[in-house]
Structure 1
């Protein structure tokens, strides 16, 4: 045996932060391809998207699809759950890195609004305002759970703002509900192509209305 390591040896020795360890598996790539295809097709507002169209766009067969998702509804719910978790992580990072409660509330607003003005995120967001998605069993309940988890971070930021004096008059639960409703509406309108105002103007309006 010579002194050079085989590829198997290299992969075995690779740490968790290495390229070998980070590379997605074939199954993960299949699943990601299905989700990407579903985002592209469902977000077109062209009526109900046949599952066969998703299979063709993802370049997978029906057996492969059902290995990952028991139904098209399950696919949509998985997409919804993953998108909600991605937003939650971004909101938490923005809030946690803020120096005080007021700054945390503003950071929450800014992070959430970027969903509508960052084109890749806005593209995926169009999936969830598609009429066919609203008909998926369990979608509304799951959406409310996601909204609650996002809003809870804002409530915590406002509680912090009242405690540290940066927003002494805030009523956290009430104000978080109002802020979330307005920000969410702006993001949804943007996804539907009904809000053409630039991000800074929308951001300044919301901050000026709620975070004084």
Structure 2
């Protein structure tokens, strides 16, 4: 009972940090296991996601789900996060694009406490960092958000999603869009490898499948 109350208190404190912040894409607000549509290529990811949730207390490593866009990676991670949140665990789902936008905005907007967001991301029982590898990483984002969170999550359960395979993701961390070195020593990818298993989602894009089905010839 004490553990449950401690979780609830921690969850409330973390949620205060994220009041009025929309860091979950609207398309994923209600994502869950029940409304996930299994398709060819999603089988392994779906089973691993359900197993991760069911055995959360005992699992030692997280996952990095990677593959093409619209394959269901984010949906499954959001399903895990929402299910654990409903069970009383302190959790966060952070969309990287929204988080990086917030980090850049915090430079001029002193009302945005990016350091409080980073601390919360480090402290939760489960963090989902969605769509890493999107866009271009800047020196400020790397030093202020990416490395502190990934480094701070060592030994904790974290889920990542990316459209990039491990090699391309390492390149994304290593330099900015102009080729300026960021993480030349591969510290971020090394920490992710040390705490996560990499799972390739082979499904095609659900959005493209829907578009093709709606085409009028």
- State the TM-score, normalizing by the size of structure 2: 0.30
| Larger RCO, structures 1/2 (Cα 8 Å, 6+ apart) | 2
- State the TM-score, normalizing by the size of structure 1: 0.31
Going by fraction, where is helix more abundant, 1 or 2? Answer: 1
